[in-house]
């Protein structure tokens, strides 16, 4: 009998997210959409007037924030509905409509930033210190930083109109990757035939039977090989899109354009890559130990996920995973864990994979809704437990930010978001190691998992970050991005980051074609900086230092009220230096030594 992925209507309602806090029905969504479609035309009342008084400027800002807040609500509902079943054309239609509305609002409001920047410095200084604009001081300061990169209103309007077209590479890749690709079926250890998918691919790679994980690897990448020219074209055009906007806005390169908005210096990125490359011998040491422990003549990529302690069978239901997360995060206090567990069990989470559902996992939501989590939970995969607590970190960050910040500052940056999520993973590993400290096999299993987690988040994401920098630089130098040049550059990085420890199958070079985050330029490095900061902050909290805990919880309330590096300094870690990354890599090396000693 073939065990196939369930259809959406076969999933229990209690296992789906409850989106009624957003809209109770499609009719309610449509009514709000219709009203807002008309409302956005009122932007014209402010055009050409922002320099006249602080009151007019404040009215314009508040009107724009109201429109943005209402669009957020419409968009959140539509994108969540679309992601729960990417084959449902009705929900895809809702998403298209609100994206178009957002683009139209962006077009109509495109005069705001140029007019704000055009206000004379003396007048703006008086405006900002006045009562009406004090709440928007940091908001305006961020706008004024953009002065060298903002163009005249007519060009800004054209750029706003182009946003829909700019999303084409990402949208095409998303539909192909989540809906159209068919990976066939696999037989598990009991002979059951199971549909291979994004959701269970890693589970198959963790299988102790080498023939099963080898078959899964080649079957999975064979599909990407069949579509490699199409996907390389979407990736290439996504990079060209980045380059177009960087040039138009007078940034020296694509990376500077991406990092500028968060006030992150290039040195943070460069320090990360340089420091990780310097510590690659620790990774090689671990991979050599993995090869020896698995008793392999050659170590292939499909051998890098299987637990080294194969006798332990992991299985944990979703409800048990929530309880485990609650206990692991107890150092943060009962308020944090109670709010989290209540949400995870009652409507925040869409738990299980279904046919057409978006792969992977994320936390989403808006200012006027609870945080929502998309999962593809697998009870036989320890990674699912880590994914749950990771996304819960994002959601609790959103929960506290939304309740402590006004709408204008509620939305934190990705840079700090990855700190909150990986912090939770660090506490989970600590909890599991403490719980199983008298069980040598389980301890080794968890150590192995912790090592692989850091390997995947710090080393792997840094390799991805280096790849992004390379392919953007190639485009900036007018060098072609073809399937051969893309995979050729990726092969060089594989050789660098794995050294002589790995026998590289040609199919592994196609890995760069399946990473959705490459369509959000210079995103992935923040996973690596995030885990570095998280490890430092978690050590402080786990030491029992209440001041450190309070500083971290306060950090979660800051939203986007400061630049991210400043927020992290307030929390207790300074990523302007390479020390947090060095400390994380030294911790990785200690874990490797501890695992080797336990063996």
Distance CA 285, CA 591 (A): 12
Catalytic: 476? Answer: no
Helix residue ranges, H only, 279-351: 280-293, 318-328, 334-345
Q: Which of 479, 437, 402, 490 shows the shortest CA–CA distance to 243?
A: 479
Query: In 3-state terms, what secondary structure has residue 282?
Result: helix
Residue of 391, 425, 468, 511 with catalytic role: 391
User: CA–CA distance from 513 to each of 67, 215, 236, 510 (Å)?
Assistant: 36, 20, 10, 5
Longest CA–CA span in the chain (Å) reads: 76
The residue among 473, 518, 464 whose CA lies nearest residue 493 is: 464
Residues paired with residue 2 on neighbouring β-strands, in sequence order: 193
> Would you give the DSSP letter of residue 501?
S
Describe the strand order of the beta sheet including 349-350 as a list of residue ranges.
349-350, 372-374, 362-364
Pairing of strands 362-364, 372-374: antiparallel
Angle between helices 414-435 and 440-454 (to 10 degrees): 170
Burial 165-188 (b: 16+ CB within 10 A, else e): ebbebbbbbbeebbeebebeebeb
- Of 343, 461, 431, the closest CA to residue 391 belongs to 343
Q: How far apart are alpha carbons 43 and 110 in whole angstroms?
A: 10
Query: 373 with 83: CB under 8 angstroms?
Result: no
Q: Which two tokens stand for residue 372?
A: 């929502």
- Residue 235 CA to residue 242 CA, distance in Å, equals 11
Report yes or no: 471 and 486 within 8 Å, Cβ to Cβ: yes
Backbone phi and psi for residue 3, each to the nearest 5 degrees, phi listed first: -95, 105
CB burial of residue 146 (10 Å; 0-12, 13-18, 19+): middle
Q: For residues 318 and 145, what is the distance between their CA atoms, to the nearest angstrom?
A: 46
- CA distance linking residue 465 with residue 270, whole number of Å: 10
Other beta carbons within 10 Å of 409: 18
- 193 — phi, psi (to 5°)? -90, 125
Residues taking part in catalysis: 391
């Amino acid at each position: 009998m073939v065990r196939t992925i369930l259809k959406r209507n076969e999933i229990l309602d209690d296992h789906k997210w409850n989106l009624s806090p957003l809209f109770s029905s499609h009719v309610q969504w449509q009514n709000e959409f219709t009203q807002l479609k008309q409302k956005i035309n009122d932007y014209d009342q402010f055009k050409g007037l922002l320099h006249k008084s602080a009151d007019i400027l404040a009215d314009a800002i508040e009107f724009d924030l109201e429109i943005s807040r209402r669009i957020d609500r419409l968009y959140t509902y539509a994108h969540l509905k679309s992601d729960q079943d990417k084959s449902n054309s009705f929900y895809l239609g809702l998403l298209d409509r609100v994206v178009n509305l957002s683009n139209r609002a962006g077009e109509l409001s495109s005069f705001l930033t140029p007019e704000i920047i055009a206000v004379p410095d003396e007048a703006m200084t008086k405006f900002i210190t006045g009562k009406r604009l004090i709440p928007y001081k940091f908001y305006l300061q961020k706008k004024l930083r953009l002065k060298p990169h903002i163009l005249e209103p007519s060009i800004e309007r054209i750029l706003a109109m182009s946003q829909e077209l700019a999303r084409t590479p990402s949208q095409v890749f998303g539909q192909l990757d989540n809906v159209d690709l068919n990976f066939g079926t696999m037989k598990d250890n009991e002979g059951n035939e199971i549909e291979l998918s994004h959701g269970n691919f890693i589970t198959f790679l963790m299988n102790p039977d080498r023939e099963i994980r080898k078959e899964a690897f080649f079957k999975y990448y064979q599909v990407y090989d069949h579509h490699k020219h199409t996907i390389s074209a979407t990736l290439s055009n996504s990079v060209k899109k980045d380059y177009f906007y960087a040039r138009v806005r007078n940034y020296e390169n694509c990376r500077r354009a991406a990092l500028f908005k968060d006030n992150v210096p290039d040195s943070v990125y460069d320090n990360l890559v340089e420091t990780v490359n310097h510590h690659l011998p620790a990774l090689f040491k671990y991979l050599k130990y993995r090869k020896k422990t698995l008793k392999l003549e050659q170590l292939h990529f499909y051998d890098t996920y299987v637990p080294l302690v194969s006798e332990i069978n992991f299985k944990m239901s979703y409800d048990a995973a929530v309880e485990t997360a609650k206990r692991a995060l107890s150092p943060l206090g009962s308020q944090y864990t109670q709010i989290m567990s209540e949400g995870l069990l009652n409507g925040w989470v869409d738990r299980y994979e279904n046919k057409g559902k978006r792969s992977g996992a994320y936390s989403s939501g808006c200012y006027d809704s609870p945080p929502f989590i998309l999962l593809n939970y697998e009870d036989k995969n320890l990674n699912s437990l880590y994914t749950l607590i990771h996304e819960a970190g994002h959601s609790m960050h959103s929960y506290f930010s939304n309740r402590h910040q006004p709408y204008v500052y509620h939305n934190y940056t990705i840079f700090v978001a990855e700190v909150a999520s990986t912090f939770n993973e660090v506490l989970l590993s600590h909890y599991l190691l403490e719980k199983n400290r008298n069980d040598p096999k389980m301890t080794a299993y968890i150590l192995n998992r912790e090592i692989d987690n850091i390997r995947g988040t710090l080393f792997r994401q840094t390799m991805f970050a280096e790849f992004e920098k390379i392919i953007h630089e190639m485009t900036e130098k007018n060098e072609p991005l073809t399937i051969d040049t893309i995979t050729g550059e990726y092969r060089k990085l594989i050789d660098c980051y794995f050294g002589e420890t790995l026998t590289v199958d040609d199919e592994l070079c196609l890995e760069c074609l399946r990473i959705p985050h490459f369509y959000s330029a210079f995103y992935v490095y923040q996973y690596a900086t995030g885990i570095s900061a998280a490890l430092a902050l978690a050590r402080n909290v786990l030491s029992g230092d209440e001041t450190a805990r309070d500083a971290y919880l306060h950090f979660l309330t800051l939203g986007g009220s400061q630049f991210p590096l400043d927020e992290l300094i307030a929390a207790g870690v300074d990523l302007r230096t390479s020390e947090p990354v060095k400390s994380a890599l030294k911790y990785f090396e200690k874990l490797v030594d501890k695992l080797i000693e336990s063996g």
